[in-house]
Structure 1
């Protein structure tokens, strides 16, 4: 098969797969995961997830076990979440959730599920290492800009979902944009999927609340669905944790 024919075939297959995607829904999921992973949780945000029945409305996708368990854990957590309790009890619940986020993704000390790609992909296990620079160059070449609340490494898993939020928003009306499709495939294949499943695995292992255990499972499942939808195989890179 010639390279041109192969390229055309891959494009046709990709278009057939993408035609079944509800990019409005995908954008909403990416936005939720961005907010869950990028910063410490706030009570109003958790309450909003409950009122919107996020767990109940989360798509089942291919019916994978991590999807079922993730929706169950998140749903159980949100069902028990209530503002109609004594102030001291509610404050304790919020602090417990914040402490869980901190030990997983922020600190103090080394997080148990470091959210930065370079820590997994580079032997020195440092943030802002070589792969972070490669990602920044990739974004610069494609005109990607993000408004950050504070300066942080661009390969934070939560920021990837901010970029996917923007991308899915465009794909709602630009489903035949081959350049945008290719950008998404490369972003996933080369920069996110090689390490993100490991980050989610560590988050599931070390989470102390059903909220973050559920979110980690749903994140991993969503990434698996994107891998299937965009018909890509993640680059096989050595992971250092």
Structure 2
């Protein structure tokens, strides 16, 4: 493995972990404080060099510079309306809602993903009964896979990663992230949706993945 390839895998791994924490969990004071303490946004790579990425970085930095504990509730409410409700979520985070005509949770695509994970030995210890096709959980799996690829460029694992992205995540993730950008009430989630999309685009470029064209129902 070349040094540059190893560095790419390490970078993809560390960014996937952050995106997992941002997209899967309710925002916490600890998360925000760590982003500030470790200057995460200042060092976040600009993959495309686009104006959208640059603006997202500026917006998140500005948000964090003025952030205080009193804003935690507003951020939690934003996260809730985007991903959970109590009314209809603005940016449903589960893939089957986009991929099934009836827009159901735990649909056929979820079952196929569960079989894929079982075959690959991927499992989760979750605090709640959460469908495994939550966009935030995909980033947890990417975290694990890129961590392994940074140590050993295993072609079998690389092929597994490509299948995970091409068949199970990329067909719908851009739609979900675009809805986050459209409906987020805070620059924090609006910006991270742009970061997540740019990240996935860069992974596709690095791994030479062509996303499958799939009909979406939301």
Same fold (TM over 0.5): yes
Q: CA deviation at 1:64?
A: 2.6
Q: Which runs of 5+ in 1 are unaligned?
A: 1-14, 83-89
CA contact (8 A) 2:7 2:150 kept: no
Q: Deviations over 1:47-105 (max 9, x none)?
A: 111111111100112313332122111111111113xxxxxxx33x1110000000001
Kept in 2, the 8 Å contact 1:100–1:207? The answer is yes
Q: Any conservation in 2 of the 1:31–1:161 contact (CA below 8 Å)?
A: yes
CA distance in 1, matches of 2:5, 2:76: 39
Equivalent residue for 2:123? 145
Q: 1:24, 1:172 within 8 Å by CA — same for their partners in 2?
A: yes
Note if contact 2:181-2:194 (Cα within 8 Å) is conserved in structure 1. Answer: yes
Report the Cα distance in structure 2 between the residues aligned to 1:73 and 1:132, rounded to whole angstroms: 34
The answer on whether the counterparts of 1:47 and 1:81 sit within 8 Å (CA) in structure 2 is no
State the TM-score, normalized to the length of structure 2. Answer: 0.95
Give the 5 Å matches for 1:41-52. Answer: 41-52=27-38
The 3-state SS of whatever aligns with 2:152 is coil
User: Alignment partner for residue 196 of structure 2, among 200, 206, 219?
Assistant: 219
> 2-side partners of 1:64 and 1:189: how far apart?
24
Provide the rounded CA distance (Å) in 1 between the counterparts of 2:66 and 2:102.
Answer: 42
Contact 2:24 2:135 in 1 (8 A): yes
CA distance in structure 2 between the partners assigned to 1:135 and 1:24 by the alignment: 25
SS at match of 1:81: coil
Q: How does the TM-score come out when normalised to structure 1?
A: 0.86
Question: Unaligned regions of 5+ residues in structure 2, if any?
Answer: none
Structure 1 residues 203-212 or 73-82, which shifts more? Answer: 73-82
Determine the C-alpha separation between the residues in 1 that align with 2:213 and 2:165: 12
Counterpart-to-counterpart distance in 2, 1:67 and 1:223: 13
State whether residues 189 and 232 of structure 1, in contact with CA within 8 Å, keep that contact through their aligned partners in structure 2.
yes
Q: Is the 8 A contact 2:53 2:194 kept in 1?
A: yes
Distance in 2 (CA, whole Å) between partners of 1:149 and 1:34 is: 15
Say what the alpha-carbon RMSD is for the aligned residues: 1.5
Alignment partners' CA distance in 2, 1:37 and 1:70: 16
Larger radius of gyration: 1
Inter-partner Cα distance in structure 1 for 2:81 and 2:200: 23
Check whether the contact 1:64–1:221 (CA below 8 A) recurs between aligned residues: no
* CA distance in 2: counterparts of 1:106 and 1:183, whole angstroms: 30
